Each structure stands twice: as structure tokens, then as C-alpha cells.
């Protein structure tokens, strides 16, 4: 696969990536990328293409509005990327700082940094398509993160997904009640693992995601 070959070729010390200060538009998209590193910008565009193919194959909403992605050298603590809701804007750490910051407890910590970086972009793009989802509550963060984590895992290679499942330690049926905002905040790694196990147990995974994105299936509830 061309993408896999390209990402494999990018496993070089991040300190030697060429300087590149500018903004490019990813081919055949309305997504612009601003970065100081040309290779990082190209990796973002590869991830955008991968995400759009996945959205199309699953008949999920498309990225219909112009979207800006900025590759930055720093973000707020414990954060490797951030989608700004309602602003069509994503900030993501450069691969070097992302490698230094990502937690060994992260559900995808076993991935090489190039694969991890791409999967994070897919995660944030999933937040972008969730932006139009109707929410009857103050927040639908559990549903939002369920979509983002499961689509992120769907974007992995079959071998990477198999390793994710092997490392997850989640056995048996997972109910929707186990995927609340409380679990998300207290144990995000567990939430990601249970989200994938839960979706894997659905007969029509893409159809289930579509129902979440059109507001038919809810994970959140009113907070009193």
C-alpha cells in the first residue's frame, strides 16, 4: 500500500525533518495545513485522504466545509491534538513533541509515531464531522468521543487493529452504559478500548455510527 510505504519511510529522527514554513492545501480537498515541516504537512494530507476514504466507504458525513489544520510545537498539557468545536480548526502537535508527550498508557501507544500521528488526525477529523450531529443535551461528549475513537481504530491496518484488540483485555459483551462521559473523563484509555469492543459487537458497524451521527442513538444524558 502506497500510504504504508510512505509512512514507513518517514521513521527518521524528527530533529532532521526539513524546515518548511507555509500553508498548503491537501489535494482534492478543502483542508489547508500550516506547518514548519514539509514532511509533517504531507503526513497530515495523507491522513486526510485516508479519513475521507473511510468516511466515504462507511457512508458517514463528508467534510463539506473548509477546514484548517495547524501543526504546532506545543499545546496545553496532556493534549496531543485539539479540534476547536464550531470553528473548523484543528491544532496538532508536531510528530517529535507528540512522541515525547504521548502516554505509555495510551490505547495506541504501541504504534510507531508516524502511524500514531496519522491516527490522531483521523480522530480529530471525526470530531469535525460530528459537529453537525444534533444533541438534545448541553453536551454529547461521550457520543462524540465514541465516534472519534472507533473511527480512529478503523483507520488502522488489520494487523494494528488485531494488536489493539489483543492488548485491550476487554472480554465479553460491552453495554452502552459502560461508555458514559464519566468513564471517558476518568479512564479515557478504557473508554477507547470498550468503545471498539462495543462497536465490534454490532452487526452493522457503519450503520451504527451513522445512527449516532444523525442523533438516533444517544450515549449522553441530561446532567442535573
Within-domain flag for 136: no
User: What secondary structure does DSSP assign to 126-184, as a single string?
Assistant: HHHHHTTS--SSS--HHHHHHHHHHHHHHTS-HHHHHHHHHHH---S---GGGS-HHHH
Is residue 125 domain-shared with residue 21, that is, in the same domain? yes
Give the C-alpha separation, 66 to 58, whole Å: 21
> What's the pTM?
0.89
User: Domain count of the chain?
Assistant: 2
Is residue 90 domain-shared with residue 32, that is, in the same domain? yes
Is residue 116 domain-shared with residue 164, that is, in the same domain? no
pLDDT in the model for residue 22: 86
pLDDT by residue, tens only, the chain of 224 residues: 223 322 332 333 333 334 456 899 999 999 999 999 899 999 999 999 999 999 999 999 999 999 999 999 999 998 999 999 999 999 999 999 999 999 888 999 999 999 999 999 999 999 999 999 999 999 999 999 999 999 999 999 999 999 999 999 898 999 999 999 999 999 999 999 999 999 999 999 999 999 999 999 999 887 65
pLDDT in the model for residue 9: 29
pLDDT in the model for residue 78: 87
pLDDT in the model for residue 180: 92
Give the C-alpha separation, 214 to 135, whole Å: 9
- Tell me if 67 sits within 8 A of 31, measured CB to CB: yes
Is residue 106 domain-shared with residue 145, that is, in the same domain? no
Within-domain flag for 218: no
pLDDT in the model for residue 20: 56
CATH, residue 120: 1.10.390.10
pLDDT in the model for residue 221: 85
Distances in Å between the alpha carbon of 131 and those of 41, 99, 126, 167, 209?
Answer: 24, 28, 9, 31, 14
Is residue 72 domain-shared with residue 151, that is, in the same domain? no
Is residue 190 domain-shared with residue 166, that is, in the same domain? yes
pLDDT in the model for residue 3: 31
Domain that holds residue 178: 141-213
Within-domain flag for 223: no
Give the C-alpha separation, 45 to 31, whole Å: 8
Within-domain flag for 224: no
Is residue 78 domain-shared with residue 154, that is, in the same domain? no
pLDDT in the model for residue 89: 98
Within-domain flag for 149: yes
pLDDT in the model for residue 224: 53
Amino acid at each position: 500500500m502506497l500510504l504504508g510505504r510512505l509512512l514507513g519511510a518517514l521513521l527518521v529522527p524528527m530533529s532532521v525533518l526539513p524546515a518548511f514554513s507555509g500553508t498548503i492545501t491537501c489535494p482534492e480537498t478543502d483542508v489547508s495545513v500550516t506547518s514548519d515541516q514539509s514532511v509533517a504537512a504531507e503526513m497530515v494530507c495523507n491522513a486526510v485522504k485516508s479519513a475521507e476514504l473511510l468516511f466515504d466507504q462507511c457512508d458517514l458525513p463528508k467534510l463539506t466545509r473548509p477546514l484548517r489544520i495547524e501543526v504546532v510545537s506545543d499545546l496545553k498539557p496532556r493534549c496531543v491534538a485539539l479540534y476547536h468545536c464550531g470553528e473548523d480548526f484543528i491544532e496538532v502537535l508536531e510528530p517529535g513533541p507528540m512522541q515525547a508527550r504521548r502516554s505509555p498508557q495510551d490505547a495506541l501507544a504501541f504504534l510507531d509515531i508516524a502511524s500514531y500521528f496519522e491516527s490522531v488526525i483521523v480522530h480529530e477529523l471525526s470530531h469535525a464531522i460530528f459537529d453537525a450531529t444534533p444533541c438534545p443535551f448541553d453536551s454529547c461528549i461521550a457520543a462524540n468521543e465514541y465516534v472519534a475513537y472507533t473511527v480512529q481504530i478503523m483507520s488502522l491496518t488489520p494487523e494494528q487493529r488485531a494488536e489493539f484488540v489483543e492488548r485491550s483485555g476487554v472480554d465479553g459483551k460491552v453495554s452502552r452504559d459502560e461508555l458514559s462521559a464519566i468513564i471517558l473523563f476518568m479512564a479515557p484509555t478504557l473508554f477507547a478500548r470498550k468503545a471498539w469492543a462495543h462497536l465490534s459487537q454490532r452487526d452493522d458497524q457503519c450503520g451504527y455510527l451513522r445512527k449516532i451521527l444523525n442523533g438516533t442513538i444517544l450515549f449522553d444524558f441530561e446532567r442535573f
